[in-house]
């Protein structure tokens, strides 16, 4: 880990670290500003990358660390008579998949199971379909994941074990919404203690599988709502105490299943379905410590207005909790969305972008289709898309495998806030924190910042030392210990940007009379949250400041939809002009034009810079797209970080950037979202963008041998002047990876 003080010294100690922006970059600025990026790039400073990690001998690592491609034909009850096993195995093998999922299941047996209530599929006819598929995969040197689904079972199991079912408040059984012959099993019941281990034991005794996996459990982005005899004794759902009980149960079962998996082979393990990105169900800090495989079941954009970066956001979550251990993101080759077609291929450009994001986010691509009617699917268009993509990745595994992110901004994702905080009283909405996250994410992308996510339970100094700044986007729930860790980060020279109700609740969702970080942020609460009735509030410019760069000809800029009123501060930069009616226009003027209520509070403490917005600015930006809010967020991010960049990526277009240390050197990934379909539906086609200039400052003594573009499959010229590396990516279609090899 980089020592923070050394880090600051290299970046701030002398003027020598301040680099003039080249004429070529200046020429690109107007376009960047037009695209919504904050203007005035002259202060940008490159800071040196941290010293490189010690090399790892790949042979010393667990086998799953070498997996780079995962394949799954998700088997249906009909597949034992529909699927051509040889064709199935050939497809995945020729594509380059190193491991395939084969269904054991739990809802239906794909082999002649003797476990009671493990009902054979109706087309199985006593055949060992699971065993034949496993043998076909093994013959081709592919590993096998034994896939189980413990979430549903049939009426005979319910009749014999009524205690296995999830129940509504009135005591009635919860059935599958789509097929009411199946009931939902309760994860606190003995179904999980008896039935699931029986499947693991049976499969282990009959076959040589490499790992066990449960689909359908634990829940991805929400918590169960069950009122069975056991669950009725638990704390109420969606409370912090329930979440702890839920986590204890998840970890109890996970470790038990893992121990069972290891009984036959110590390198075998158990893993479960995960995902939900920042709103994951199980506590991701605890889970990251035990999981050998993070299965991000984040298969595609689900709703019509989903943003394109749903997969790369998941990658940042995985990176925050897995510490370099294996993570794969599932790409649905079939049609995800507001209307689903499980057996129809999705737009190829959309499927490819999801796999691009998988790689850019540091995860392993995993391609997935459901059912194999007529041999390997009635619709086979997905097959070439996947095999072409996999075969391309196979040529570049060394550069696509990541070691660690080199980002210098940490975004704290408060998983408990994401799951449990209901939003302010004025806006009770499950989507509240989703919108907050998206607003900040969008602003970080448009400013081309290099950032990581950081889990709220991982704020220890060694982990935070690499960050110039931490961002707390309405992290409402913070424990005293977490507040203390954030104070320590600032004490050691780090900067901070926080907003709205950050720290106004403790870890049990009890509200505090005063902000948990009031002393650090220099703020004091003056009342309860004020929402909007008509016009939202404005922020009056009281004095010039770098966070206001680019605002001319106005005394007011938009505030946010909701705010926590603060007591006055010295030398406020922005003050609140309270909201007023929107209609009728006769009354649309401020009853009070000037107040001493701050709309932002800024502090400088030695090398640390601190910004607090009492409004929900990130979410309001997401809801409106208002360029003033984007400019304010971008300027503030640049001010708190002193515009220190670990990678400077300049050029036109709306892109997402990732920068990784790799075994051969470094990799800078550029995802091109300059596309009319970036925020709605699926990508229809790519819209290429022009030159992107990359500059970074290498650690002392590191020499660059080559810079290759993995998508264009060409080398580029580079300039290595002292520690500064500079090169130009001539253009980006949907995605490019600049792979830097060092000596």
Shortest distance, position 189 Cβ to Zn ion, whole Å: 6
Residue 165 or 200 with smaller CB distance to Zn ion: 165
Shortest distance, position 248 Cβ to Zn ion, whole Å: 14
Of 168-176, 219-227, 389-397, 438-446, the segment contacting Zn ion by CB under 5 A is 219-227
Residue 247 or 437 with smaller CB distance to Zn ion: 247
CA dist., res. 182 & res. 151, Å (int): 9
Shortest distance, position 228 Cβ to Zn ion, whole Å: 3
Shortest distance, position 321 Cβ to Zn ion, whole Å: 27
Residues 246-275 that bind Zn ion (CB under 5 A): none
Residue 183 or 257 with smaller CB distance to Zn ion: 183
Quote the Cα angle for 285-424-304, to 5°. 75
CA dist., res. 148 & res. 115, Å (int): 13
Residue 222 or 706 with smaller CB distance to Zn ion: 222
First to last CA, the chain: 21
Residue 245 or 623 with smaller CB distance to Zn ion: 245
Of 69-77, 218-226, 398-406, 670-678, the segment contacting Zn ion by CB under 5 A is 218-226
Residue 145 or 231 with smaller CB distance to Zn ion: 231
Instruction: Tell me which residue of 176, 96, 91 sits closest to 133, measured CA to CA.
Output: 91
Residue 234 or 600 with smaller CB distance to Zn ion: 234
Residues 594-623 that bind Zn ion (CB under 5 A): none
Binding residue (CB under 5 A) for Zn ion from 226, 370, 472, 689 = 226
Of 121-129, 182-190, 703-711, 717-725, the segment contacting Zn ion by CB under 5 A is 182-190
Shortest distance, position 215 Cβ to Zn ion, whole Å: 19
Q: Can you list the pairs that 29-35 forms with residues at least 24 positions away whose Cβ atoms lie under 8 Å?
A: 31/652, 32/650, 32/651, 32/652, 33/550, 35/446, 35/652, 35/653, 35/654
Shortest distance, position 188 Cβ to Zn ion, whole Å: 5
Q: Which string of DSSP letters, residue by residue, matches 605-665?
A: ETTEEEEEESB-HHHHHHHH--HHHHHHHHHHHHHHTTTEESEEEEESS-EEEEEEE-SSE
Residues in contact with Zn ion, counted by CB under 5 A, come to a total of: 5
Binding residue (CB under 5 A) for Zn ion from 231, 311, 327, 732 = 231
Of 26-34, 220-228, 424-432, 692-700, the segment contacting Zn ion by CB under 5 A is 220-228
Residue 3 or 232 with smaller CB distance to Zn ion: 232
Q: Cβ neighbours of residue 489 under 8 Å, at least 6 residues apart?
A: 459, 461, 464, 467, 470, 496
**Nearest-10 crossing angle of helices 129-139, 85-95:** 40
181 with 236: CB under 8 angstroms? no
Structure tokens at 179: 């097929």
Residue 163 or 285 with smaller CB distance to Zn ion: 163
Considering the rule CB under 5 A, would residue 234 count as an interface residue with Zn ion?
no
Helix (H) or strand (E) holding 138: helix 129-139
Quote the Cα angle for 179-184-185, to 5°. 150
565 with 526: CB under 8 angstroms? yes
Shortest distance, position 244 Cβ to Zn ion, whole Å: 16
Structure tokens at 594: 């000037």
CA dist., res. 215 & res. 229, Å (int): 25
Residue 129 or 188 with smaller CB distance to Zn ion: 188
Shortest distance, position 198 Cβ to Zn ion, whole Å: 20
Residue 27 or 229 with smaller CB distance to Zn ion: 229
Structure tokens at 163: 């205690």
Shortest distance, position 250 Cβ to Zn ion, whole Å: 14
Q: Beta-carbon neighbour count of residue 180 at 10 Å? A: 10
Q: Which string of DSSP letters, residue by residue, matches 436-480?
A: HHHHHHHHHHHTT--EEEEETT---HHHHTT-SEEEESS--B--H
Of 186-194, 534-542, 549-557, 642-650, the segment contacting Zn ion by CB under 5 A is 186-194
Residue 196 or 330 with smaller CB distance to Zn ion: 196
Shortest distance, position 387 Cβ to Zn ion, whole Å: 43
The DSSP output letter for 414 is -
Considering the rule CB under 5 A, would residue 228 count as an interface residue with Zn ion?
yes
Strand 704-709 with 735-742, pairing: antiparallel
Binding residue (CB under 5 A) for Zn ion from 8, 47, 157, 186 = 186
Shortest distance, position 667 Cβ to Zn ion, whole Å: 46
Backbone angles phi and psi of 180, in degrees to 5: -70, 0
Considering the rule CB under 5 A, would residue 433 count as an interface residue with Zn ion?
no
Residue 251 or 580 with smaller CB distance to Zn ion: 251
CA dist., res. 329 & res. 680, Å (int): 21
Of 226-234, 251-259, 264-272, 315-323, the segment contacting Zn ion by CB under 5 A is 226-234
Residue 144 or 231 with smaller CB distance to Zn ion: 231
The DSSP output letter for 43 is G
Shortest distance, position 187 Cβ to Zn ion, whole Å: 7
Residue 167 or 563 with smaller CB distance to Zn ion: 167
Handedness of CA 448, 482, 500, 247 (dihedral sign): positive
Shortest distance, position 218 Cβ to Zn ion, whole Å: 13
Instruction: Tell me which residue of 622, 732, 679 sits closest to 309, measured CA to CA.
Output: 679
Of 181-189, 428-436, 533-541, 600-608, the segment contacting Zn ion by CB under 5 A is 181-189
Of 156-164, 180-188, 405-413, 649-657, the segment contacting Zn ion by CB under 5 A is 180-188
Shortest distance, position 190 Cβ to Zn ion, whole Å: 11
CA dist., res. 722 & res. 95, Å (int): 42
Residue 162 or 627 with smaller CB distance to Zn ion: 162
Shortest distance, position 242 Cβ to Zn ion, whole Å: 12
Shortest distance, position 421 Cβ to Zn ion, whole Å: 24
Helix (H) or strand (E) holding 329: strand 326-332
SS (H, E, C) 258-322: HHHHHCCCCCCEEEEEECCHHHCCCCHHHHHHHCCEEEECCCCCCCCCCCCCHHHHHHHHHHHHH
Per CB under 5 A, residues contacting Zn ion are 186, 188, 226, 228, 231
């Amino acid at each position: 880990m980089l020592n923070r003080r050394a880090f600051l010294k290299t970046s701030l100690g002398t003027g020598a670290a301040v680099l003039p922006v080249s004429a070529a970059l200046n020429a690109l600025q107007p376009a960047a500003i037009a695209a919504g990026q904050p203007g005035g790039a002259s202060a940008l400073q490159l800071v040196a990358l941290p010293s490189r990690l010690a090399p790892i001998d790949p042979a010393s690592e667990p086998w799953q660390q070498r997996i780079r491609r995962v394949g799954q034909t998700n088997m249906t009850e009909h597949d034992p008579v529909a699927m051509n096993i040889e064709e199935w195995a050939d497809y995945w093998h020729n594509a380059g998949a190193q491991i395939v999922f084969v269904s054991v299941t739990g809802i239906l047996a794909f082999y002649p199971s003797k476990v009671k209530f493990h009902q054979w599929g109706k087309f199985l006819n006593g055949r060992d379909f699971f065993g034949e598929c496993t043998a076909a995969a093994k013959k081709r040197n592919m590993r096998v994941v034994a896939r189980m689904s413990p979430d549903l079972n049939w009426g005979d199991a319910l009749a014999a074990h009524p205690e296995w079912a999830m129940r509504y408040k009135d005591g009635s059984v919860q059935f599958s919404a789509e097929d009411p012959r199946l009931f939902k099993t309760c994860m606190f019941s003995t179904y999980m203690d008896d039935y699931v281990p029986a499947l693991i034991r049976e499969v282990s005794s009959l076959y040589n599988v490499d790992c066990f996996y449960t689909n359908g459990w634990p829940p991805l982005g929400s918590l169960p709502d069950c009122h069975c005899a056991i669950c009725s004794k638990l704390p109420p759902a969606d409370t912090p105490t329930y979440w702890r009980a839920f986590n204890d149960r998840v970890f109890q079962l996970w470790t038990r299943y893992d121990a069972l998996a290891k009984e036959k082979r110590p390198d075998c393990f158990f893993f479960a379905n995960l995902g939900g990105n920042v709103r994951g169900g199980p506590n991701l800090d605890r889970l990251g410590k035990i999981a050998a495989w993070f299965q991000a079941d984040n298969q595609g954009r689900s709703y019509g207005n989903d943003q394109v970066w749903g997969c790369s956001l998941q990658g940042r979550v995985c990176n925050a909790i897995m510490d370099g251990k294996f993570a794969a993101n599932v790409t649905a080759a079939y049609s995800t969305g507001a209307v689903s077609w499980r057996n129809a291929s999705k737009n190829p450009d959309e499927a490819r972008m999801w796999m691009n994001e998988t790689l850019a986010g540091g995860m392993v691509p995993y391609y997935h289709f459901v059912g194999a009617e007529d041999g390997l699917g009635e619709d086979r268009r997905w097959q070439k898309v996947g095999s072409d993509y996999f075969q391309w990745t196979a040529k570049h595994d060394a550069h696509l495998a990541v070691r660690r992110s080199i980002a210098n901004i940490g975004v704290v994702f408060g998983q408990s806030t994401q799951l449990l905080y209901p939003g302010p009283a004025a806006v009770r909405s499950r989507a509240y924190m989703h919108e907050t996250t998206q607003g900040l994410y969008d602003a970080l992308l448009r400013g081309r910042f290099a950032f990581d996510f950081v889990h709220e339970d991982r704020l220890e100094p060694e982990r935070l030392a690499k960050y110039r700044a931490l961002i707390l986007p309405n992290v409402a729930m913070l424990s005293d210990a977490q507040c203390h860790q954030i104070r320590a980060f600032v004490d050691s020279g780090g900067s901070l940007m926080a907003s709205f109700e950050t720290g106004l609740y403790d870890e049990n969702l009890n509200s505090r009379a005063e902000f948990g970080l009031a002393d650090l942020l220099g703020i004091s609460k003056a009342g309860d949250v004020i929402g909007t009735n008509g016009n939202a509030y404005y922020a009056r410019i009281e004095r010039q400041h770098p966070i206001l760069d680019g605002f001319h000809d106005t005394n007011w800029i938009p505030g946010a939809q909701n705010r926590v009123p603060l007591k006055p501060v010295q030398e406020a930069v922005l003050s609140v002009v309270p909201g007023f009616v929107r209609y009728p226009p006769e009354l649309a003027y401020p009853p009070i034009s000037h107040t001493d209520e701050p709309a932002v509070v800024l502090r400088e403490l030695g090398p640390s810079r601190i910004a607090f917005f009492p409004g929900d600015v990130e979410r309001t930006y997401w809801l409106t797209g208002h360029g003033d809010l984007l400019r304010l967020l971008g300027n503030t991010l640049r001010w708190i970080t002193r515009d220190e960049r670990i990678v400077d990526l300049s050029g036109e277009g709306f892109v997402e950037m990732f920068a990784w240390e790799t075994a051969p050197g470094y990799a800078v990934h550029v995802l091109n979202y300059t596309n009319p379909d970036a925020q709605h539906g699926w990508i229809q086609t790519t819209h290429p963008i022009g030159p992107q200039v990359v500059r970074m400052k290498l650690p002392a003594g590191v020499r660059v041998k080559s810079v290759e573009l993995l998508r264009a499959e060409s080398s580029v010229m580079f300039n290595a002047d002292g520690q500064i590396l500079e090169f130009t990516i001539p253009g980006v279609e949907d995605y490019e990876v600049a792979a830097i090899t060092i000596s």
